[in-house]
Chain A
């Protein structure tokens, strides 16, 4: 993955942004938390551009049936047509409407990005927290595992994994991507957890008799919300790109309509050589825009955790 999230050094004093959920009001806590996080991100210029792009893609995905003029799978058109008033982006070699495929494709890319990002973050948080909070053999073992996954080239590993799996669906891609992209997040979270472990508020929580589970999840975890969000967005970026690569190679489910499979069929049908460059240009640009939006939002998240990166 060429996306490298600018990882803030965890030693920066006051790196964590403590989130305290106040007394329960008429709006449930998690929703209010989400609203506040969005407002903070919105105040960062780069992140706000990212939020706008992401919001646009989400709207397209949700209202796909209303936006798309035709069915994405119907093979009712003349194949290999250039863009026209009925088929805005032209038609595929199978006589499908490319514009409708683009609109529906947003669903798959979003799904893979968000699902793989979420699973990878879950793994990263679990392994990072345990390793950071339990120094000694457990930490050494988990850190070794993390470093191993980190140095093994991710994309080739993904290709091999996907090639071995015989039955494929979108979820195969989600799990393959999640399996290979948790390590960066785990390492960052581990080092933050190990510095927080020795802070007074954790020590006092342990002395006041709080259990291991409560200390880790109620005392330590809330202090690295921004790191967790950061690793989610980097994993989601990686997932969107990896999905496109896997599907372009034909390692996805060829029956789903996604930006990656549009590229796959475009390459199979030599669209560039027949002058149908829109078939290659449009899905790639959409993938790039979605990946950009995740990265831009991550800038905002980084600025939350590292005051030196904040815009004045």
Chain B
């Protein structure tokens, strides 16, 4: 229990620090993001009301009030999920825009991460077990090469080959243009169909972390006495590899789950942008390209908090997997 309590406290402090960082960053920057944001707003043809100016200022820094007042206003608006109005989607609140996009990214990133975890871990076990052999070298080199592909670039290439040249998959979007999001079979089919190439792109580029982590853990575990003992007992090779070595090598890899999620979420920003996939990544892409500061700040907040929650859950679940950390 003490372990969990410690994790909860640490999680809350980290959460506070991350949200505060989101408050400090725009205020640290040279120049005035408020003026830049208002100028951008004005150039988009919207009249700037006092309410709008106030909303922008609360998020990015009011020139004439104390930081403490600003900080209080900032927290108030977060608790009320009041992130102002974005310039890219003026007809709805930022919270609504994000709410609509979140399920897409959750599904895409979730499925991709599980795929990459399973395949990458298996490859890592194999490479670690056949260490120094040709199989190991080819797996390691292949994973190194795939990891070096900028995700958006691989996305562009796959798009070019499979969508543009051969027309096997749609070029952009998350579902057929005619449909509205619902839970019908035809909509879900089109959603899955549209997600194949983005998911493939993300999975290929995030595979290597699991491969290397697992391979190195395997190599370290294979040096343990109990593995040697199992081999000396004449157990079958496969039993030793999977039930003795791999099971224990898997543990440290689980903690990497949260962190690798961050990599996938980061990679998904540009990949979703390339595919115009209707998720959070694409929103951030639009926000950054249009200097849409309210949307950008709210998205960063949502992504960071989601990451922290994911890591926290993995940490707590880890207690069940590894009793040693309970002490």
A residues lining the B interface (CB < 8 Å): 1-9, 46, 144, 147-148, 150-157, 159-161, 163-167, 237, 241, 244-245, 248-251, 263, 267, 272-273, 277, 280-281, 284, 287-289, 291-292, 295-296, 299, 308-309, 311-312
What would be 7 A-B contacts, judged by CB atoms less than 8 Å apart? A2-B264, A148-B21, A153-B262, A154-B263, A154-B266, A161-B25, A164-B25
Contact A244 B150 (CB under 8 A): yes
Would you give the shortest CB distance from A56 to chain B, in whole angstroms? 15
- Cβ contacts under 8 Å, A244 to chain B: 150, 153
A163-B288, A291-B147 are known; give 16 further A-B pairs, CB within 8 A: A2-B151, A2-B264, A6-B213, A144-B14, A153-B263, A153-B266, A154-B262, A155-B266, A155-B269, A156-B265, A244-B153, A248-B152, A251-B288, A272-B156, A272-B164, A292-B144
Contact B148 A3 (CB under 8 A): yes
Taking CB atoms and an 8 Å cut-off, the chain B residues in 251-279 that contact chain A are 256, 258-260, 262-267, 269-270, 273
- Mark interface residues in B295-312 (1 if CB within 8 Å of A CB, else 0): 011011001100110010
- Cβ contacts under 8 Å, A160 to chain B: 25, 288, 296-297, 300
- Cβ contacts under 8 Å, A272 to chain B: 156, 159-160, 164
Contact A2 B206 (CB under 8 A): yes
Taking CB atoms and an 8 Å cut-off, the chain B residues in 153-176 that contact chain A are 153-154, 156-157, 159-160, 164
User: Looking across the interface, which residue of chain B has its beta carbon closest to that of A272?
Assistant: B160
Contact B296 A281 (CB under 8 A): no
- B30-38, B66-74, B95-103: which one contacts chain A? B30-38
- Cβ contacts under 8 Å, A167 to chain B: 30-31
- Cβ contacts under 8 Å, A292 to chain B: 144-145, 148
- B177-185, B215-223, B236-244: which one contacts chain A? B215-223
Q: Known A152-B304, A163-B288; judge A2-B267 contact (CB<8 A).
A: yes
Contact A249 B256 (CB under 8 A): no
B284 on interface, CB distance cutoff 8 Å: yes
Contact A144 B13 (CB under 8 A): yes
- Cβ contacts under 8 Å, A250 to chain B: 289
- Mark interface residues in B12-40 (1 if CB within 8 Å of A CB, else 0): 01100110010001100111010010000
- Mark interface residues in B98-137 (1 if CB within 8 Å of A CB, else 0): 0000000000000000000000000000000000100000
> CA A267 – CA B157 in complex, angstroms?
12
Q: Known A1-B266, A163-B291; judge A151-B308 contact (CB<8 A).
A: yes
Contact A151 B307 (CB under 8 A): yes
- Mark interface residues in B136-150 (1 if CB within 8 Å of A CB, else 0): 000011001101111
User: Looking across the interface, which residue of chain A has its beta carbon closest to that of B258?
Assistant: A151
User: Looking across the interface, which residue of chain B has its beta carbon closest to that of A248?
Assistant: B152
> CA A164 – CA B293 in complex, angstroms?
8
Instruction: Find A280's partner among B25, B153, B209 (CB 8 Å cutoff).
Output: B153
B285 on interface, CB distance cutoff 8 Å: yes
Contact A156 B157 (CB under 8 A): no
> CA A299 – CA B152 in complex, angstroms?
25
Q: Known A6-B215, A288-B150, A296-B144; judge A249-B156 contact (CB<8 A).
A: no
Contact B13 A6 (CB under 8 A): no
- Cβ contacts under 8 Å, A151 to chain B: 14, 18, 258-259, 262, 307-308, 311
> CA A167 – CA B300 in complex, angstroms?
22
Contact A291 B30 (CB under 8 A): no
> CA A163 – CA B269 in complex, angstroms?
14
Contact A4 B219 (CB under 8 A): no
Contact B270 A287 (CB under 8 A): no
- Cβ contacts under 8 Å, B13 to chain A: 144
Contact B14 A166 (CB under 8 A): no
Q: Known A159-B269, A249-B288; judge A284-B303 contact (CB<8 A).
A: no
> CA A167 – CA B31 in complex, angstroms?
9
- Mark interface residues in B211-233 (1 if CB within 8 Å of A CB, else 0): 01101100110010000000000
Contact A153 B288 (CB under 8 A): no
- Cβ contacts under 8 Å, A155 to chain B: 266-267, 269-270
> CA A152 – CA B311 in complex, angstroms?
11
> CA A280 – CA B156 in complex, angstroms?
8
User: Looking across the interface, which residue of chain A has its beta carbon closest to that of B144?
Assistant: A295
User: Looking across the interface, which residue of chain A has its beta carbon closest to that of B141?
Assistant: A46
Contact A153 B141 (CB under 8 A): no
Interface centre among B26, B150, B285, B308 (most CB of A within 10 A): B150
- Cβ contacts under 8 Å, A7 to chain B: 216
Contact B147 A3 (CB under 8 A): yes
Would you give the shortest CB distance from B179 to chain A, in whole angstroms? 25
- Cβ contacts under 8 Å, B263 to chain A: 1-2, 4, 153-154
- Cβ contacts under 8 Å, B195 to chain A: none
> CA A289 – CA B148 in complex, angstroms?
7
Interface centre among B14, B26, B148, B264 (most CB of A within 10 A): B148
- Cβ contacts under 8 Å, A248 to chain B: 150, 152, 270
Q: Known A164-B26, A166-B31, A292-B144; judge A4-B270 contact (CB<8 A).
A: no
User: Looking across the interface, which residue of chain B has its beta carbon closest to that of A241?
Assistant: B150
> CA A156 – CA B150 in complex, angstroms?
15
Contact A2 B288 (CB under 8 A): no
Instruction: Find B220's partner among A5, A9, A152, A287 (CB 8 Å cutoff).
Output: A9
> CA A167 – CA B30 in complex, angstroms?
9
B208 on interface, CB distance cutoff 8 Å: yes
> CA A167 – CA B29 in complex, angstroms?
11
Contact B148 A166 (CB under 8 A): no
B205 on interface, CB distance cutoff 8 Å: yes
Contact B215 A153 (CB under 8 A): no
Contact B288 A245 (CB under 8 A): no
Would you give the shortest CB distance from B90 to chain A, in whole angstroms? 19
